Structure 1
Amino acid sequence: MTIQQPAQPAPPTVVTPLVPARRPTWVRWPVAAVRTARPRQWPKNLLVFAAPLTGSALSRGSTALGGATLAFVVFTLASCAVYFVNDALDAERDRQHPRKCLRPVACGDLSETHALALACVCVCLAWAVGLVTPGYGLILAVTAYLATSFLYSAKLKHVPVVELAVVASGFVLRALGGAAAVHVPPSGWFVLVCSLGALLVVVAKRFTELTSLGAPAAGHRPSLRRYTPRGLRTAQRLVALAMIAAYFTWAWTEADAWTADWHLATTVPLVAALVRFDRLTATGTTGQIEDLLIRDVPMLCLELLWLVLFVIGLAIQP
């Protein structure tokens, strides 16, 4: 009788993980440069169309539209320069951040020297395009934006409260630059509403940073040591109420009764959008707070509803 030997188990197969091939430098460098320029943040610069739109300047046709478009190009180039400088100066701190460590300068795909060189190129291009527009309003606005933004990156970002005002001023200067490009004098109410809206976004951003990162948040942004979640949340809601009051007052004080009534109607989607924004920012997120304004479907629908109502009002006003 033959005794069968038990089958020996097959030796385990060692699987070597596949490591993706690193892109060649001639591909990696331009990709890193574009990523550092933050194309997803460029829609912020559409604020240059705010004053021409509210002032009915775009109804003048191609001249006004061309001026506003040039302002958009100027501030897009300027904002790219700011991002290059910011990432070069913050590279070491970004390496300790759970999300910012993936930025090209922080992870080594783009050197700090190259980032600063690209910033210089963007500044020169922004000034060159700005000088094409008649007058000096646009060039003054973008120069003020660059100066405050570079000061922010170098020092002011660590000063509590002041850093909030500086970031918010960047949005306001965009709106003022658009007004200057098409020669529309912005009203005081317009500037106030823009300022409060910008401050609202910045305060909400600090709140989500503090609540999502917890104790280590101050290591990434030292100014957060001076804030508390409750204080920021209260400030966010107070600024939102002030923005609604300013917008309502602006609409109510329109000289023409029909225009005033139509602008008051646009307050409804604005208030609904602010309520939605408050709910979206109630929980901390490590993502970009600006994404809540353009990626949340209900929020986007409310923003479009406000815009459509406003444009219709301009089109059919007697």
Structure 2
Amino acid sequence: MTETAPMATSARTRETALLEQRTPPRHATTPPPPKGSLLGGLLRTARPKQWVKNVLVVAAPAAAGQLFSQHAVTQLVLVFALFTACAAAVYLINDARDAEADRAHPTKRRRPVAAGQVPVPVAYAVGGALGILAPATAAWLVSPAVAALLTAYLAMQLAYCVSLKHVLVVDLVVVTTGFLMRAMVGGLALGIPLSRWFLITTGFGALFMVSAKRYSEAVQMAGKAGATRALLTEYTTGYLRFVWQLAAGVAVLGYCLWALEEGGVPHTSVLPWRQLSMVAFILAVLRYAVFADRGTAGEPEDVVLHDRALALIALVWIAMYALAVANW
């Protein structure tokens, strides 16, 4: 008996050693060491994938049929770059402010600022510089109205980062307003009057996608700990469903009234393309609502790019509206 116990103990010790070799150490979950250059880290923090949202700057000029002159193209490219700079400034300041909290998050800890690739003071400095230079450049090269809108966008987004993202309903309004500002800035840059129906359709269309995204996040995080957005635990899925359904209905109504109002102008085109575009617009909303209802409408650009039917409907709508603007 006295010899068996030491042998058993020795066997258990060997088994424990083997398990320790197979099991990764706890410190493997710590943030990885920073990799890449400082410039690359700054670019990643600016979220290049999100720049596609800034294409909305062409919305008002396209709706007014003033998109293809050399002056319009130059101004819109400049406005796109300035709006991208403002958005990058917000991302940099937000990540610098949340660096400590992001390091404790399983995914956000890999962000360049949280991982140490971009020092916090550098993120603040570059973000602040972009936030000052973009409106100043707009005032110099575009118009005071565009500079004022960019300044308002920066103020609103920074307030969102600090406190407004924790306020029910207000967070939805702020994100929606950001999309609406993108759609308005192109018209301001070219001096195009903005139709009330354009603003209603764009605003509620943006609210539809924003609330559908929140609804999808809430559905996917239901019953799980560690929601990526603190307010997801405050909203109910029923309320978010109500919001995106209401927004979709108002957006469709606004577009129909807009199309019918503009369609009353005498035209020489073969078919009433503007009125016919209502069909494509409604189909696009209904198709997008399928993904919203399933809880898979996480990123609007991903939904549009990965669903062939929705992409085709969008192309048909663009073609119809282009024919209406061209009066063909």
TM-score, structure 2 normalization: 0.82
| Correspondence 1:296 to 2:322 | no
| Correspondence 1:168 to 2:196 | no
Counterpart pick for 2:319 among 286, 308, 315: 308
Bigger mean CA deviation after superposition, 182-191 or 82-91: 82-91
| Correspondence 1:271 to 2:282 | yes
Q: Is the 8 A contact 2:64 2:325 kept in 1?
A: no
Deviation, 1:245, is 0.6
Deviation, 1:97, is 4.6
Q: Is the 8 A contact 2:212 2:240 kept in 1?
A: yes
Paired residue type of 1:55? A
Deviation, 1:293, is 2.8
| Correspondence 1:228 to 2:239 | no
Residues 18-167 of structure 1 correspond to what in structure 2 (within 5 A)? 27-59=36-68, 61-167=69-175
Q: Percent identity?
A: 35
Paired residue type of 1:84? L
Q: Is the 8 A contact 2:108 2:114 kept in 1?
A: yes
Bigger mean CA deviation after superposition, 227-236 or 107-116: 107-116
Q: Is the 8 A contact 1:67 1:181 kept in 2?
A: yes
Whole-Å separation in 1 of the counterparts to 2:238 and 2:56: 30
Deviation, 1:30, is 2.1
Higher-helix-fraction structure: 2
Whole-Å separation in 2 of the counterparts to 1:213 and 1:97: 15
Paired residue type of 1:47? L
Q: Is the 8 A contact 1:252 1:261 kept in 2?
A: no
Which residue of structure 1 lines up, in the alignment, with residue 219 of structure 2? 211
Q: Is the 8 A contact 2:135 2:148 kept in 1?
A: no
Check 1:275–1:287 CA distance in 2 against 1; reply closer, same or farther (3 A cut).
closer
Deviation, 1:194, is 0.9
Which residue of structure 1 lines up, in the alignment, with residue 15 of structure 2? none
Check 1:261–1:312 CA distance in 2 against 1; reply closer, same or farther (3 A cut).
closer
Deviation, 1:215, is 4.5
RMSD: 2.7
Whole-Å separation in 2 of the counterparts to 1:252 and 1:240: 18
Aligned length: 299
Q: Is the 8 A contact 1:276 1:299 kept in 2?
A: yes
Check 1:71–1:134 CA distance in 2 against 1; reply closer, same or farther (3 A cut).
closer
For residues 138-191 of structure 1, the C-alpha deviation after alignment (integer angstroms, 9 at most, x for no partner) is 101111111100000010000010110011111111122111111101111111
Bigger mean CA deviation after superposition, 210-219 or 178-187: 210-219
Deviation, 1:285, is 5.0
Check 1:164–1:39 CA distance in 2 against 1; reply closer, same or farther (3 A cut).
same
Paired residue type of 1:178? G
Whole-Å separation in 2 of the counterparts to 1:134 and 1:77: 15
Check 1:104–1:287 CA distance in 2 against 1; reply closer, same or farther (3 A cut).
farther
Whole-Å separation in 1 of the counterparts to 2:73 and 2:160: 31
For residues 88-142 of structure 1, the C-alpha deviation after alignment (integer angstroms, 9 at most, x for no partner) is 2333444455543432223333232222122112223312431233431110111
Whole-Å separation in 1 of the counterparts to 2:237 and 2:119: 36
Whole-Å separation in 2 of the counterparts to 1:189 and 1:246: 6
Whole-Å separation in 1 of the counterparts to 2:252 and 2:212: 16
Whole-Å separation in 1 of the counterparts to 2:284 and 2:128: 38
Deviation, 1:225, is 3.0
Structure 2 alignment gaps of length 5 or more:
1-17
Whole-Å separation in 2 of the counterparts to 1:186 and 1:256: 17
Bigger mean CA deviation after superposition, 238-247 or 267-276: 267-276
Counterpart pick for 1:197 among 186, 189, 205: 205
Deviation, 1:286, is 9.6
SS at match of 1:266: helix
Deviation, 1:304, is 2.1
SS at match of 1:281: helix
SS at match of 1:186: coil
Q: Is the 8 A contact 2:34 2:115 kept in 1?
A: no
